[in-house]
Amino acid sequence: DAGITQSPRYKITETGRQVTLMCHQTWSHSYMFWYRQDLGHGLRLIYYSAAADITDKGEVPDGYVVSRSKTENFPLTLESATRSQTSVYFCASSKTGWNGYTFGSGTRLTVV
């Protein structure tokens, strides 16, 4: 199916575990982004990528790792999950020349 998909939709993990959130888009958009949504903070940028093999930090990158070996995939890894990383994570993509992102449906992550 065309679009942007995130998996899993829901994840519960324990403190200290590594967890990877997946994001896949079928449009070949150059830009991809990871945001987290928290009450009182809105959406905050974690990492973004302008193209395959090009990534850069956003506002809240600590504790997260990203990679982008293929244009269509942009996984987000929490190296050692902490309770403060409990959040809803949104992936988004955008084609060059247009500022309007298309978001995935989100992953709700709970760290216990």
Partner 1 sequence: DQQVKQNSPSLSVQEGRISILNCDYTNSMFDYFLWYKKYPAEGPTFLISISSIKDKNEDGRFTVFLNKSAKHLSLHIVPSQPGDSAVYFCAASAGGGTASKLTFGTGTRLQVTL
Q: In the structure encoding, which two tokens stand for residue 57, read together? A: 């930090």
Within 70-99, the residues that bind partner 1 by CB under 8 A are 90, 92, 94-99
Among 30, 67, 73, 86, binds partner 1 (CB under 8 A): 30
Residue 102 sits in the site that holds partner 1 (CB under 8 A) = yes
Q: How far is the CB of 55 from partner 1 (least distance, A)?
A: 13
For residue 70, count CB atoms less than 10 angstroms from its CB and return exposed for 0-12, middle for 13-18, buried for 19 or more: exposed
Among 2, 14, 28, 42, binds partner 1 (CB under 8 A): 42
Cα dihedral 59/27/24/47 (nearest 10): -10
Q: How far is the CB of 35 from partner 1 (least distance, A)?
A: 7
Polymer length in residues for the chain: 112
Q: How far is the CB of 16 from partner 1 (least distance, A)?
A: 28
Q: In the structure encoding, which two tokens stand for residue 20, read together? A: 């990877």
Q: Please say whether the dihedral angle defined by the alpha carbons of residues 94, 49, 32 and 2, taken in this order, is positive or negative.
A: positive
Residue 15 sits in the site that holds partner 1 (CB under 8 A) = no
Binding site for partner 1 (CB under 8 A): 30-31, 33, 35, 40-45, 48, 50, 58-59, 90, 92, 94-106
